[in-house]
A and B are shown apart, each in its own frame.
Chain A
Amino acid sequence: MASRVATLRRQRLVVAAYATFAVVLAPLAAVIWVSFFEDKIIGFPPSGYTLHWYANAWRVDRFLQGFLLSLEVGVVATSISLVIGVPAALALARSEFAGREAVHALLMSPMVVPGIVSGAAIYMFFIEVEVASELPLAGTLFGLVLAHTLIALPWIVRLVTASLVGVDRSLAEAATSLGATPRVTFFRITLPVIRPGIVAGAMFSFVVSFGDLEKSLFLIGPGRTTLPIEMVNYLEWNIDPTIAAVATVQTLMIGAALALSDRFFKLTRVF
């Protein structure tokens, strides 16, 4: 008797849980489904299914340009943030020094400050620098990459320090006791061990950069566009399978990156 009640309760729990999952997945499911609809105007039930919106989307020049730029900026920003972020994470996780907590908070701060606020602030700052130094900054690729590196950095720091937390200090100590100089210890012992964190960090950084809207809105220059911005522009006029296809492509790409990341570093440990 008691176990039947328990099962009923359990069932209610499961139903509630999956209802929540459904809410989370609704936009994703909708976008994927609609991207295959035959008709240009969304109607239910769909008269048929087709792949030609995908083919179409690539031919739309601005989507292609946006995709390429988002890709380029994503790769460059991720690379830079890896180069400066991995050493920073190492220093934070391994060393004890005054102000360590403060530095950690500082490096995490781009995640905490509202996207629009930091976007606006960076924009104004770049304009000021431009005015003062004659160096173009605000509308340039360089400026855009800087801003994206800024938002990518916390993810690298966070994930690499997380992968170091599990790992013993004593591994580095063992290596050093066997005669390894700090440099050798880093390359032979530490780096292989933090590789999962690096891969996951790189994936998250890329994803965050690729999908960014707020910074890019301020900092793209004339003639330049990112995929999210183009999607937003398109959406102001049209809601149709084409945009659904574009959104699906972006999501699939991001999904692949996250699935890859999960193989190296369990997603639940990230948050």
Chain B
Amino acid sequence: MATISLEGVDKKYGASLAVDGLSLRIGQGELVALVGPSGCGKTTTLRMIAGLAEASAGVIRFDDRDVTHLPTYHRNTGIVFQGYALFPHMTVADNVAFGLQMRRVGRSEAQRLVHEALAMVRLEDYAERLPRQLSGGQQQRVALARAIVIKPDVLLLDEPLSALDAKLRVEVRTEIRRLQSSLNLTTIFVTHDQEEAVGIADRIVVMNAGKVEQVGTPREVYERPANRFVASFIGLSNFIAGRDEGGGTFLSRAGELLKYEPDRIRGPVEALVIRPEMIELGAAPAGSQCNELAGSIDTVTYLGPLTDLELLLDSGEKIHIHRSNRTPGYVEQFRRGERLVVHWPPSASLPV
């Protein structure tokens, strides 16, 4: 299991910069998710680490080895591709054995390792099938087995779940996580689904237009977004625009004075972000420092586990509030047009 380090890595396509000065350190056994909108450079970065694309500038290292210009077949990476890329003319067992063959592993040893790997993904009975006879989820697991059987230094997954349906995605994601942590594989997981990233990663790298917006644990990225982009990409956000008055006070455009916790050195605060689930209904309790706003309910949406309320504030802005449907019929109490007062503590105001 190697550490990965990228230093000032660029990728140019003609005149455009797909990846701009990326520097990143990934520790042994860590699962890092690269997440961002299409075109942000996350897949390009993965491909450079894999050796499938050549960096225009910068250095890529596995442990201390400089692999920047090393061809893919010398890098000992295990890759799970978006389309799985299972060799259609080979059986499942032959697919998984391929990497071992390339490493000149003896026939009986290889058979044993293949069986083990397939057992780990619970597909031992499918060894003699052809890829086209398997479902999407099964193919995905075969691709995984093929990548891990060679004991790679690095495991790379390029949007491995995007072709699966929603329920399956969560199942397989958990399985990938289980395998990865039990084998202590240094892993990079590329996805455009922020929920997936938050659910699987040790650390998340949020990327946008070739640059890194924030690196942090899921909690850091969700609870302390570094900027507007991260706040809007990860999770749902309510934005309150306005002007920073300093000292933890923010003057909204509508003229309300809102409080936030000024915790660390930050640039100028341009907006406050409040997560929908952090907003409480009712007036602020007496004596608390909570922020309070009022408005009328514009839309009520029942979402199953929670109720989404769209509130049209008196200031004209719209915010969303999520309340858990803890008692049956909870949603029924809300009516469109009804007046509502809401509050939240200063700690829930995220400055960006």
Q: Do A and B bind each other?
A: yes
Contact A180 to B98, CB < 8 A, known contacts A170-B81, A173-B52: yes
- What is the bound-complex CA distance between A189 and B75, given in angstroms? 19
Q: How far is the CA of A193 from the CA of B85 in the complex (A)?
A: 12
Contact of B73 among A171, A180, A188, A192 (CB under 8 A): A180
Query: CB-defined interface of A156-196 with B at 8 Å, one 1/0 digit per residue?
Result: 00000000000010110111111111001000110011000
Summarize B's interface: helix, strand, loop or mixed: loop
Tell me if B103 is interfacial: C-beta within 8 Å of chain A.
yes
Give the docked Cα–Cα distance between A174 and B83 (Å). Answer: 11
Shortest Cβ distance from A48 into chain B, in angstroms? 52
B77: interface (CB < 8 Å):
yes
CB distance from B108 to the nearest CB of A (A): 20
* Among candidates B73, B77, B82, residue contacting A181 with C-beta atoms closer than 8 Å: B73
Which residues of B have CB within 8 Å of A168?
A: 81, 83, 85
Residues of B within 8 A of A175 (CB): 87, 98
Interface centre among A168, A177, A181 (most CB of B within 10 A): A177
Count of A-B contacts judged by CB separation below 8 Å: 64
CA distance A25 to B71 in the complex (A): 55
Interface of A is mostly: helix
Q: How far is the CA of A174 from the CA of B78 in the complex (A)?
A: 9
Tell me if B265 counts as interface (CB < 8 A to partner A). no
CA distance A181 to B104 in the complex (A): 13
Beta-carbon contact of B150 and A170 below 8 Å = no
The answer for the CA separation of A227 and B250 in the assembled complex, in Å, is 92
Question: A173 contacts which of B75, B81, B150 (Cβ < 8 Å)?
Answer: B81
By beta carbon, the residue of chain A nearest B97 is A178
Residue of B nearest to A195 (CB): B89
**Chain A residues with CB under 8 A of B52:** 173, 176-177
Shortest CB-to-CB span from A180 to chain B, Å, is 5
Cβ–Cβ < 8 Å partners of B147 in chain A: 177
Chain B residues near A174 (CB-CB < 8 A): 79, 81, 85-87, 146
Contacts of B51 in A (CB 8 A): 176-177
B105 to chain A, nearest CB (A): 11
Q: Given that A171-B87, A193-B88, A193-B89 are known contacts, is A178 also in contact with B98, CB under 8 Å in the complex?
A: yes
User: 11 A-B Cβ contacts within 8 A?
Assistant: A168-B83, A168-B85, A170-B81, A171-B85, A171-B88, A173-B79, A174-B86, A175-B98, A176-B72, A180-B73, A193-B87
Which 3 A-B residue pairs are closest in the complex by CB-CB distance?
A179-B102, A178-B99, A174-B85
- Known pairs A177-B52, A188-B98 / 15 extra A-B pairs, C-beta < 8 Å: A168-B81, A170-B82, A171-B85, A173-B72, A173-B85, A174-B81, A176-B51, A176-B52, A177-B50, A177-B78, A177-B147, A179-B74, A179-B102, A179-B150, A184-B102
